[in-house]
Amino acid sequence: MKDKQTHLIDTAINLFARDGVSVSTARIASEAGVSNGTLFNYFPTKQQLIDSVYLSIKEDIARNVLPSLGQDMSVKEVMFGIWRGYIQWALANPLHHEVSILLKAAMVLSAATLERADAIFELKVAKLRKGVEQHQLVDLPVDYICELSTAQLSVAVAFLQRFKLDSVDASKHIHCSFDVFWNGINA
Amino acid sequence: MKDKQTHLIDTAINLFARDGVSVSTARIASEAGVSNGTLFNYFPTKQQLIDSVYLSIKEDIARNVLPSLGQDMSVKEVMFGIWRGYIQWALANPLHHEVSILLKAAMVLSAATLERADAIFELKVAKLRKGVEQHQLVDLPVDYICELSTAQLSVAVAFLQRFKLDSVDASKHIHCSFDVFWNGINA
DNA sequence: TGTGTGATTGACTGATCAGTCATTTTTTGA
DNA sequence: TCAAAAAATGACTGATCAGTCAATCACACA
């Protein structure tokens, strides 16, 4: 049997995706096959459970996206690596993707958690910064381009999920949506 | 004194923006200066209050954005009209903008309400459809381009709100963010 | 087998909340 | 001026929920 803490997080992700963050801790515990007392042994408050869920998802994304990237790659290569890696991860883990967006948008995450989550993807920020400094990208704040990429990635994923394309068309859309993004920010 | 129903909606928007959708009906009523019984005279359920808040915001956007658009304008002109109009509205009504995003993301809106809200902006969809058909825009589903524009607009607004630019720089960013969007979808 | 330790349990509590309704207040218009 | 209608009130209810804790269980080691 999987680590109980991990199993509770997985169960919470499933229920958050189905019913939103408002699901009761009792239901999460029951669905996970433990008593609600046990849930509170692992997560002292519901807030800490929510934060743990978010960080767990972000770390999972990092594990699946960052390894394919290198310091020696160009900005465009890094961004495309993130693009393809994230979309593939999101299609393989639709609920995780959905919950990650949900928690961020619903403003239920502690400030510390948001900060920790950002720190995971420092490489991306660094590459974009260099791209702007070297005038390869439009002269906009790096934060802005970051948010832009996240927003456009979400739209691309939502589209791919809605119309279940075969893998050829999916790959085509990954390139196509990336081109839309890249043409937008290319200097 | 303003129409009570309108006043309750305005109060709800303020509280939703400050504390999320989870604020109690009692607090909304009290903040609006009426009893909670009165709130339920105007909105039989909290759900209907939430839906009314959303539709009220969308109609406000439409009133501020649609009048400047005409059937005879090009796709680009229409999209830029929406771009500038929406950003100006959002900067003048930051809480409304925030709540509109919050309600959509938190998945607390009824299906009927989402449909009604979409119908308000039919002109935009029609223009984009023609643009794609006439190969002025990249060959992507109109829905996709719609979502893309909404997402990028949100990012642009968030940026302008974070760094309170003077009106010259703000206008520059409106054009700049639009160019990023347009260069992405221009065929 | 016996004992001590840490994990697990679930009934319980106090707080909160959406929604009700009998009563009171205000408005209307004859 | 007054009676009927409409609007407003707020105490109340039943349900739900996060979090607690005394009791129980499972297991390691003597």
Q: How far apart are CA A85 and CA A64, in angstroms?
A: 7
Q: Do B39 and B69 fall within a single domain?
A: no
Cα distances from B183 to residues B85, B124, B160, in angstroms, run: 20, 18, 20
User: Nearest-CA residue of chain B relative to A179?
Assistant: B184
In this predicted structure, what is the pLDDT of residue A42? 97
Domain endpoint, select from B44, B59, B79 = B44
Are residues A109 and A49 in contact, defined by beta-carbon separation less than 8 angstroms?
no
User: Are B105 and A108 an interchain contact pair (Cβ–Cβ within 8 Å)?
Assistant: no
Domain endpoint, select from A10, A27, A44 = A44
A148: chain B residues, CB-CB within 8 Å: 152, 155, 180
User: Nearest-CA residue of chain B relative to A105?
Assistant: B105
Q: Do A31 and A73 fall within a single domain?
A: no
**B116-132: per-residue pLDDT in tens?**
999 999 999 999 999 99
Task: State how many domains chain B has.
Answer: 2
* Rounded CA–C1' distance between A41 and D27, in angstroms: 19
Q: Do B93 and B14 fall within a single domain?
A: no
User: Are B144 and A138 an interchain contact pair (Cβ–Cβ within 8 Å)?
Assistant: no
Per-residue pLDDT of chain B (187 residues; tens, 9 = 90+): 568 999 999 999 999 999 889 999 999 999 999 999 999 999 999 999 999 999 999 999 999 999 999 889 999 999 999 999 999 999 999 999 999 999 998 889 999 999 999 999 999 999 999 999 999 999 999 988 999 999 999 999 999 998 888 888 899 999 999 999 999 999 8
Cα distances from B25 to residues A106, B8, B16, B105, B106, in angstroms, run: 19, 10, 11, 21, 18
Q: Of B60, B45, B64, whose CA–CA distance to B13 is shortest?
A: B60
A147: chain B residues, CB-CB within 8 Å: 155, 158-159
Structural domain that includes position A132: 53-185
Q: Do B65 and B129 fall within a single domain?
A: yes
Q: Do A107 and A133 fall within a single domain?
A: yes
Q: How far apart are CA B173 and CA B159, in angstroms?
A: 9
Q: Do B38 and B115 fall within a single domain?
A: no
* Rounded CA–C1' distance between B87 and C4, in angstroms: 68
In this predicted structure, what is the pLDDT of residue A26? 96
Q: How far apart are CA A183 and CA B5, in angstroms?
A: 46
Per-residue pLDDT of chain A (187 residues; tens, 9 = 90+): 568 999 999 999 999 999 889 999 999 999 999 999 999 999 999 999 999 999 999 999 999 999 999 889 999 999 999 999 999 999 999 999 999 999 998 889 999 999 999 999 999 999 999 999 999 999 999 988 999 999 999 999 999 998 888 888 899 999 999 999 999 999 8
* Rounded CA–C1' distance between B186 and C17, in angstroms: 51
Which residue's structure tokens are 């900060």?
A115
Q: Do A77 and A29 fall within a single domain?
A: no
* Rounded CA–C1' distance between B1 and D2, in angstroms: 28
User: Any idea which nucleotide's C1' is nearest the CA of A24?
Assistant: D17
Collapse the DSSP code of A4 into the 3-class scheme (helix H, G, I; strand E, B; otherwise coil) and give the result: helix
Q: How far apart are CA A74 and CA A21, in angstroms?
A: 39
Q: Do A89 and A130 fall within a single domain?
A: yes
- Chain D bases closer than 7 angstroms to a protein Cβ: 7-12, 16-22
Residue A129 one-letter amino acid: R
In this predicted structure, what is the pLDDT of residue A181? 94
Q: Do B62 and B11 fall within a single domain?
A: no
Q: How many CA atoms lie within 13 A of A133 on its CB side?
A: 6
Are residues B100 and B52 in contact, defined by beta-carbon separation less than 8 angstroms?
no
Q: Do A179 and A88 fall within a single domain?
A: yes
In this predicted structure, what is the pLDDT of residue A2? 67
Tell me, what CATH number does B35's domain have?
1.10.10.60
B20: chain A residues, CB-CB within 8 Å: 106-108
Tell me, what CATH number does B108's domain have?
1.10.357.10
| CB atoms closer than 10 angstroms to residue A28 | 24
- Backbone φ, ψ for residue B142 (5° rounding): -60, -40
Identify which of B158, B179, B185 has the shortest CB distance to residue A180. Answer: B185
Q: Do A153 and A79 fall within a single domain?
A: yes
In this predicted structure, what is the pLDDT of residue B1? 54
Q: Do A12 and A67 fall within a single domain?
A: no
In this predicted structure, what is the pLDDT of residue A62? 97
d(CA A1, nearest CA chain B) in Å: 33
In this predicted structure, what is the pLDDT of residue A1? 53
Residues with CB under 7 A from strand D: A 22-27, 36-37, 40, 44-47; B 4, 34-38, 40-42
User: Are A155 and B140 an interchain contact pair (Cβ–Cβ within 8 Å)?
Assistant: no
Q: How far apart are CA A22 and CA B108, in angstroms?
A: 11
Are residues A158 and B147 in contact, defined by beta-carbon separation less than 8 angstroms?
yes
Q: How far apart are CA A93 and CA B130, in angstroms?
A: 35
Are residues A91 and A157 in contact, defined by beta-carbon separation less than 8 angstroms?
yes
- Chain C bases closer than 7 angstroms to a protein Cβ: 7-12, 16-22
